[in-house]
Structure 1
Amino acid sequence: MTIEEKMDHFRSLSLESASSKSAESLSSYKQSLDDDLELHKETASQLAEESKKALMNQVRANSKKKLSSEQMKIKKELTQKQSAIKIEVFDRVREKLLEYRKTNDYLVYLENQIKNIMSEYSDVDITIYIDPNDSSLLDELKSKTGGNIEIYNKEFLGGTRTIVPEKNILIDNSFKTRLADQQDLFAITL
């Protein structure tokens, strides 16, 4: 073999070896890139899924917040409406009480109330008070019941208030107190 043949043979072996190593290196690099691509696809898919879940959670949270806000608004409006109805109902009741106080039935009611109190506390001195607006009934009530009846210094919508000093008792049968008690108990249910 001549030198040239040897050189050709060496060149071809070198080229084959370099080509083989290059192909191997390229294949290894391609595999590495394919692995990186798969890893990137999985990571991107996970990130997209997490982003989707986060967005869904945000939408749910916003929906719940808006729903809660609307519920509070409706409850507030309902409470205001109930309050307005309650005021209207008790304004009408006050009007009916004023009408009732102009009737003879009211006079009979006061007489019976005074007689009942006097019989219950017959063993002690008591003072029975009537509303200042009922002052026109004072003389008639005194003559029909024989009780110690006076005009109270403040209005209480009718009825009576009684003081039993010996027992330190106030008996409040006034319409104002009864109306306030009923107003506290009054509830509008749906």
Structure 2
Amino acid sequence: MQTTSMEQARLEGNVIIDTHQAALEKVFEDHKAEATRQSETRIKAEAANAKLSLNQALAKSQLEIKRRQSKVQQELKDKIFEEADALIDEFMKTEAYDDFLIKCIRKAVAFAGNDELTIYINPTDEKKRSDLEGATRVHLTISAEDFRGGVRAVIRSRNILIDNSFSTQLKEQYDKFVFLGGDGIA
């Protein structure tokens, strides 16, 4: 009987041990699966953070490049218009400038028709006044304001200003001037 009891106890002990071992193996497998899931989630989160950081760094560097490019373009634009200003100075010393003034005066007179017209020339052109009046048969007024050269005309009855001054022309061109990129995009 003792042998039978011992065998019975051994069998029950083995069943308990097997059941406990199976339970431990299941806990171990569940723990392994959970650890794998957590590590995959952590890897995905870190990858997303790394991608976000990279995108932020890229955006920051692109913004800095655009700032530098804009600064260089502004410097070049200013230099171009300084050179244009110097070219205007040279042009104003030529006969072509006198012809330009005469052409502007005649166009203003033609536009005004029978309306009263006041034509202004720049103070720097005061020495040319008599020659211009002789060529156009129009009385010219010296402007109180320096408008860099050219002609301005006023038709008061129609509230019209005809502005062929270099200062206005330069400002308009400066405001419109844009560098185009190599791909045709501003």
TM-score (norm 2): 0.92
**1:23 pairs with one of 14, 28, 32:** 14
Read off the aligned partner of 1:40 and give its amino acid letter.
H
Read off the aligned partner of 1:95 and give its amino acid letter.
A
Q: CA deviation at 1:181?
A: 1.4
Unpaired stretches in structure 2, ≥5 consecutive residues:
182-186
Q: How does 1:123-142 map to 2 (within 5 A)?
A: 123-142=114-133
Q: How does 1:17-166 map to 2 (within 5 A)?
A: 17-166=8-157
Indicate the SS of the match to 1:154.
coil
Q: CA deviation at 1:112?
A: 1.5
Indicate the SS of the match to 2:130.
helix
Q: Give distance in 2, aligned partners of 1:157 and 1:12.
A: 126
Point out the more displaced range, 131-140 or 34-43.
131-140
Indicate the SS of the match to 1:150.
strand
Q: Give distance in 2, aligned partners of 1:189 and 1:122.
A: 42
Between the aligned residues of both structures, percent identity stands at: 28
Structure 1 stretches of at least 4 aligned residues deviating more than 6 Å after TM superposition: none
Name 1:176's counterpart in structure 2. Answer: 167
Q: CA deviation at 1:144?
A: 2.0
Q: Give distance in 1, aligned partners of 2:160 and 2:107.
A: 16
State the structure with more CA Rg.
Answer: 1
Count of residues in correspondence between the two structures:
181
Read off the aligned partner of 2:18 and give its amino acid letter.
S
Q: Is the 8 A contact 1:126 1:148 kept in 2?
A: no
TM-score (norm 1): 0.90
Q: How well do the aligned residues superpose, as a CA RMSD in angstroms?
A: 1.3
